[in-house]
């Protein structure tokens, strides 16, 4: 679940877009901890800094931002779902033709093989990594190039996007930069990944406005952007240098009985936001598709408590205390405890120097991460029946460790409650949950799950209640007459929003197996590092990279067009 942003300053002579974008990445760090990057644009030149690691590391605490001049820029935070964790797959991606394009993508495509063939045999474009986002960028670049123009206009950009929507199957919310021309944002026709846009007055040019796009509203809000509106499913927005946003519905939202259909009476589109954003991914201080993440989590907590009172009354009576598993479930815990009529205790302390564990790249790191991150206040557990509350149980890594810690601290009974329904199916739209065998709830009963994690009882929120919680948390009408009636809930019920090609899951399991053995090799179990075989973009500690100059399109006359690539990571 990556994070993307883009900024175009109203003052085209300003050179500071990367400063704000660098800031924006700190607000979205929870969406991807593996890699980060920014591409900026000054005149006809693109500048780039990207690499593996947290934002602070990649940009050397901000020191590298001074090498990213320009009044426009795009940025990315990566949590890999396709390809590998190599620094060469850090984003934004760049292609020189046509015009000099750079793209950052949050999402996951499910027809990569088909796209690879198309790009190889028909479009004749070279793909240098295993990243699906590089495929998407090349589909777009090819369509734009095929128009055969020396200079593109806004209509050309929108027209080329039609090819992206037609060929790319899966989820994508992207920001892109066209050298010397402007910034672009677009969201797939299912609206599976979020993207929004806001505006603020320019600080340096009277009457002009800055425009920024981001995966979550909090990044826009904290940087002073107002009039924040979601980009709609199937919609794109292009902002030309010195211009205003131009919106275009590239394709209609997908029609299905439950979503993306035109409501004939109200002439509104019904759109399904992604449920996992509300359960886990997004920050509670963000609003997505008009729904407050904070409120949705509070409602999930109170609804789960109601379900517990209905289905396990005797056990509820025994509970002494409700204890959230920090950090995401903190928001739901007070409402749950209030509804149950029990005290709530922050009896697990989160180490503030350890980040999210679920999105770490391998199981060993995830397991050691939990103990490093969470520790119990012993007195709050000793001799008590505790109800531990988490937002989700996915692989069971956190719950297993946490239950054990609660018992070690003296709890007499442990009930484990999950604010989301059981995660039984792979996530195919941007969460690294490809292999169902990794999911603790896949083909298991609640009792079996309780046994595995060592709890006396496990209870989940109902899918219908989870959806209700999100619907009740609406705080703003969605623009464009979109109405929300349903959510993307494939992980819970196995019904996906897009066609999944035959053999896709087997293919993913196989890739996953390969990645695992590669990881073991890197860790020395089986020997051999692949440091010699990195794709060319993975230049260790970067330096300018010699690539062909983009054509003279969208450039101020006399300006040079080249790109300085500065990649970090893959350090062995
Ligand atoms: O069953 P699992 O595979 O362990 O996955 C679920 C857990 O992972 C996440 O926590 P994480 O530490 O990533 O983030 P948080 O601090 O935001 O809760 C989530 O909040 C659950 O606690
Ligand atoms: N989580 C995401 O959005 C990942 C983007 C892309 N699929 C990658 O693996 O880099
Ligand atoms: Mg958690």
Q: How far is the CA of 174 from the centre of ligand 2 (A)?
A: 11
> Which of 328, 348, 432, 439 gets mutated to test ligand 1 (max ligand atoms within 8 A of its CB)?
328
pLDDT tens for each residue of 219-252: 999 999 999 999 999 999 999 999 999 999 999 8
End-to-end CA distance of the chain: 26
Mean pLDDT taken over the chain: 86
- Residue 488: the pLDDT is 82
pLDDT tens for each residue of 541-562: 333 332 322 333 344 433 443 3
- Residue 224: the pLDDT is 98
Which residue CA neighbors atom 16 of ligand 1 most closely? 327
For the domain with range 280-472, which CATH number is right: 3.40.50.1110, 3.40.50.2020, 3.30.420.10, 2.60.40.10? 3.40.50.2020
Q: Which residues pair with 173 in a beta bridge?
A: 106, 187
204-218, 330-344, 548-562: least confidently modelled range: 548-562
Q: CB count, 10 Å around CB of 137? A: 26
**Fold type of domain 3-254+538-568:** 3.60.20
Q: At what angle do helices 397-408 and 446-453 cross, to 10 degrees?
A: 60
Write down the ipTM of this complex.
0.96
- Residue 368: the pLDDT is 80
Which residue CA neighbors atom 1 of ligand 2 most closely? 1
- Residue 30: the pLDDT is 96
- Residue 547: the pLDDT is 32
Per-residue DSSP letters for 224-279?
T-EEEEEPPTTEEEEEETTS-EEEEE-SPPPP-SSSS-EETTTTEEE---BHHIII
Is the distance from CB of 228 to CB of 196 less than 8 angstroms?
Answer: yes
Structure tokens at 223: 């940087």
Split at pLDDT 50, 70, 90, the class of 254 is low
Is the distance from CB of 99 to CB of 551 less than 8 angstroms?
Answer: yes
Minimal CA–CA distance to 2: which of 234, 171, 163?
A: 171
Which ligand 1 atom sits closest to the C-alpha of 280?
20
Say if residue 323 is exposed, middle or buried (CB neighbours under 10 Å; 0-12, 13-18, 19+). buried
Split at pLDDT 50, 70, 90, the class of 367 is confident
Minimal CA–CA distance to 417: which of 305, 281, 282?
A: 305
Q: How far is the CA of 374 from the centre of ligand 1 (A)?
A: 11
Minimal CA–CA distance to 301: which of 265, 337, 256?
A: 337
Per-residue DSSP letters for 443-494?
T--HHHHHHHHT-SEEEE--HHHHHHHHHHTB-SPPGGGEE----B-HHHHS
pLDDT(172) > 80? yes
Q: How far is CA 17 from the centre of its chain?
A: 22
pLDDT tens for each residue of 281-309: 999 999 999 999 999 999 999 999 999 99
Task: Give the list of residues 6+ apart from residue 122 with CB closer than 8 angstroms, or none.
Answer: none
φ, ψ dihedrals at 243, nearest 5°: -115, -165
Three-state DSSP string of 154-206: HHHHHHHHHHHHHHCCEEEEEEEEECCCEEEEEECCCCCCCCEEEEEECCCCC
pLDDT tens for each residue of 485-525: 778 888 898 888 788 887 777 776 666 665 555 554 544 43
To the question of whether residue 390 is assigned a binding role by annotation, the answer is yes
Per-residue DSSP letters for 316-385?
HHH--EEEE-TTTTHHHHHHHHHHHT--B---EEEPTT---STTSSSHHHHHHHHHHHEEE-GGGTTT-E
Q: Which ligand is nearest to the CA of 279?
A: 1
* CA–CA distance, 323 with 304 (Å, rounded to integer): 14
Task: Give the list of residues 6+ apart from residue 199 with CB closer than 8 angstroms, or none.
Answer: 209, 210, 211, 212, 225, 226, 227, 245
* CA–CA distance, 248 with 298 (Å, rounded to integer): 35
Is the distance from CB of 567 to CB of 539 less than 8 angstroms?
Answer: yes
109 in helix, strand or coil?
A: strand
User: Per-residue pLDDT averaged across 470-478, rounded?
Assistant: 87
78-92, 172-186, 388-402: least confidently modelled range: 78-92
Structure tokens at 181: 């021309």
Task: Give the list of residues 6+ apart from residue 117 with CB closer than 8 angstroms, or none.
Answer: none
- Residue 283: the pLDDT is 97
243-257, 368-382, 527-541: least confidently modelled range: 527-541
pLDDT(483) > 90? no
pLDDT tens for each residue of 8-55: 999 999 999 999 999 999 999 999 999 999 999 999 999 999 999 999
Which ligand 1 atom sits closest to the C-alpha of 355?
16
């Amino acid at each position: 679940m990556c994070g993307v942003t883009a900024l175009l300053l109203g003052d085209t002579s300003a050179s500071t877009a990367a400063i704000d974008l660098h800031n924006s990445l700190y607000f979205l760090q929870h969406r991807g901890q593996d890699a980060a990057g920014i591409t900026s644009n000054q005149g006809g030149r693109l500048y780039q800094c990207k690499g593996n690691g947290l934002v602070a590391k990649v940009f050397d605490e901000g020191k590298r931002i001074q090498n990213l001049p320009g009044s426009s820029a795009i940025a990315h935070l990566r949590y890999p779902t396709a390809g590998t964790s190599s620094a060469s797959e850090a984003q934004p991606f760049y292609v020189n033709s046509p015009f000099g394009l750079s793209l950052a993508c949050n999402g996951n495509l499910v027809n990569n093989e088909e796209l690879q063939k198309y790009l190889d045999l028909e479009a004749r474009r070279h793909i240098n990594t295993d990243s699906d986002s590089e495929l998407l960028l090349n589909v777009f670049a090819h369509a734009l190039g095929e128009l055969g123009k020396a200079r593109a206009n806004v209509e050309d950009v929108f027209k080329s996007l039609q090819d992206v929507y037609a060929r790319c199957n899966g989820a994508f919310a992207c920001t892109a930069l066209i050298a010397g021309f402007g910034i672009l944002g677009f969201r797939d026709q299912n609206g599976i990944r979020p993207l929004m846009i806001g505006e603020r007055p320019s600080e340096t040019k009277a009457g002009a406005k800055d425009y920024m796009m981001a995966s979550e509203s909090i990044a826009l809000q904290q940087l002073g952007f107002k009039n924040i509106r979601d980009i709609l499913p199937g919609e794109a927005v292009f902002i030309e240098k010195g211009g205003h946003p131009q919106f275009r519905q590239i394709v209609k939202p997908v029609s299905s009985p439950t979503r993306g259909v035109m409501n004939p009476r109200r002439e509104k589109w019904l759109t399904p936001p992604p449920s996992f954003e509300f359960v886990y991914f997004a920050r509670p201080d963000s609003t997505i598709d008009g729904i407050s993440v904070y409120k949705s989590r509070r409602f999930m907590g109170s609804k789960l408590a109601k379900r517990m009172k209905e289905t396990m009354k005797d056990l509820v009576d025994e509970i002494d205390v409700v204890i959230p598993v920090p950090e995401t479930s903190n928001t739901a815990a007070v409402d749950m405890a209030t509804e149950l009529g029990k005290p709530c205790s922050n009896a697990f302390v989160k180490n503030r120097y350890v980040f999210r564990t679920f999105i770490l790249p391998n199981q060993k790191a995830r397991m050691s991460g939990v103990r490093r991150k969470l520790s119990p206040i012993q007195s709050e557990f000793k001799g008590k029946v505790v109800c531990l509350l988490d937002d989700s149980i996915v692989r069971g890594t956190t719950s297993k460790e946490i239950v054990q810690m609660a018992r070690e601290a003296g709890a007499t009974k442990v009930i484990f409650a999950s604010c989301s329904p059981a995660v039984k199916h792979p996530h195919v739209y941007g969460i690294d949950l490809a292999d169902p065998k990794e999911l603790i709830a896949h083909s298991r009963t609640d009792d079996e799950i309780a046994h595995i994690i060592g709890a006396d009882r496990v209870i989940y929120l109902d899918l219908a209640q989870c959806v209700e919680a999100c619907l009740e948390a609406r705080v703003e009408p969605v623009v464009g007459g979109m109405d929300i009636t349903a959510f993307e809930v494939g992980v819970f019920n196995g019904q996906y929003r897009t066609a999944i090609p035959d053999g896709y899951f087997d293919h993913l399991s196989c890739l996953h197996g390969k990645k695992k053995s590669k990881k073991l090799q890197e860790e020395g179990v089986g020997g051999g590092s692949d440091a010699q075989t990195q794709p060319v973009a993975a230049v260790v500690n970067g330096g300018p990279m010699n690539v062909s100059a983009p054509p003279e399109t969208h450039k101020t006359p006399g300006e040079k067009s080249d790109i300085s690539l500065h990649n970090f990571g893959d350090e062995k």
